[in-house]
């Protein structure tokens, strides 16, 4: 028996076909295919909750689209946009999405924008060894379970501003070109950026790390900004390489691991707390 929701033999599938299957309640699993058109989750017709008011003002109508089934793409190429958020200015309607099950985009390539602003993910999210060619926005997004971006590449930066991660997160081996924006982001559990590369500025200003954070063997080619950042359970920069670093007003907690850290530019650490004299070392 061949299940209708699997696509292994065909090489191309339309985004509209996938959206129809989601609306019908089918689990989605595609491997080795090219997806044509915009995969716009905000156009789904079923499981739409309407609310008055919004994030912007009380006149806007808010529509929350809930996707209950598992979403899985393996080694797929997305030629259009991935849309999980939209705001219709003409009708004052805000569209957001909720994913109640696991979401996997492994070894995929995204040719255009990926937008999940204000989205909620309740299951596991795995976006491993994938490549984003255009802008990526997870601003104000909430992740309830573990998130894995291991070895993914962001060629036009990544926006995780105000994002909330409730469980463990991995960006191990990830590469972010242009700005990596994690300003005001909240990490409630352990976070790993082991072996990651930041080719532009890495902005962690006002970021809150409740769990252990590991930047071991990471490379920061632009400014590494940790101003007002809170490290509640320690941080490791072991064998990392940095240019200019801003730790002004940063709050540190033990354990602090800076062994083998190379800083080629300037370290700003005025008013940093809990440093235990770590910045008195002359080898930086």
CA distance 26 to 5: 7
Q: What global pTM score does this model have?
A: 0.92
Rg of the chain over all Cα atoms, to the nearest angstrom: 20
Compute φ and ψ for 63, nearest 5 degrees.
Answer: -120, 120
- The answer to whether residue 234 is domain-embedded is yes
- The answer to whether residue 5 is domain-embedded is no
- The answer to whether residue 91 is domain-embedded is yes
- The answer to whether residue 2 is domain-embedded is no
- Domain extent, residue 234, equals 19-280
- Please list, in sequence order, all residues whose beta carbon lies within 8 angstroms of the beta carbon of residue 241, skipping any fewer than 6 positions away: 218, 219, 220, 261, 262, 264
- The answer to whether residue 10 is domain-embedded is no
Structure tokens at 153: 């590449």
- The answer to whether residue 247 is domain-embedded is yes
Reading the chain (284 residues) residue by residue, the pLDDT tens digits are: 344 444 444 599 999 999 999 999 998 999 999 999 999 999 999 888 888 654 555 556 889 999 999 999 999 999 999 999 998 777 788 999 999 999 999 999 999 999 999 999 999 999 999 999 999 999 999 999 999 999 999 999 999 999 999 999 999 999 999 999 999 999 999 999 999 999 999 999 999 999 999 999 999 999 999 999 999 999 999 999 999 999 999 999 999 999 999 999 999 999 999 998 888 865 55
The reported pLDDT for the residue numbered 3 is 41
Three-state SS for 175-221 is: EECCCEECCCCEECCCEECCCCEECCCEECCCCEECCCEECCCCEEC
């Amino acid at each position: 028996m061949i299940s209708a929701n699997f696509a292994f033999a065909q090489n191309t599938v339309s985004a509209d076909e996938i959206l129809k299957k989601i609306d019908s309640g089918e689990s989605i699993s595609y491997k080795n295919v090219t997806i044509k058109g915009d995969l716009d989750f905000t156009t789904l017709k079923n499981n739409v909750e309407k609310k008055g008011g919004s994030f912007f003002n009380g006149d806007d109508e808010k529509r929350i689209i809930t996707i209950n089934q598992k979403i899985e793409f393996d080694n797929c190429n997305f030629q259009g946009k991935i849309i999980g958020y939209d705001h219709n200015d003409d009708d004052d309607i805000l569209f957001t999405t909720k994913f109640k099950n696991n979401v996997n985009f492994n070894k995929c390539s995204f040719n255009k924008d990926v937008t999940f602003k204000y989205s909620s993910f309740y299951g596991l999210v795995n976006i491993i060894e994938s490549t984003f060619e255009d802008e990526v926005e997870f601003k104000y997004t909430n992740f309830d379970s573990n998130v894995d971006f291991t070895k993914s590449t962001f060629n036009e930066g990544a926006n995780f501003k105000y994002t909330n991660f409730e469980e463990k997160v991995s960006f191990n081996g990830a590469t972010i070109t242009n700005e990596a924006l994690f300003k005001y982001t909240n990490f409630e559990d352990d976070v790993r950026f082991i072996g990651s590369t930041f080719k532009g500025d890495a902005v962690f200003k006002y970021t809150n790390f409740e769990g252990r954070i590991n930047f071991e063997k990471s490379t920061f080619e632009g400014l590494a900004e940790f101003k007002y950042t809170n490290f509640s359970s320690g941080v490791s920069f072991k064998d990392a390489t940095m240019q200019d670093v801003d730790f002004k007003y940063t709050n540190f907690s033990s354990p602090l691991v800076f062994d083998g850290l190379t800083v080629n530019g300037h370290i700003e650490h005025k008013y940093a707390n809990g440093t235990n004299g770590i910045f008195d070392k002359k080898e930086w």
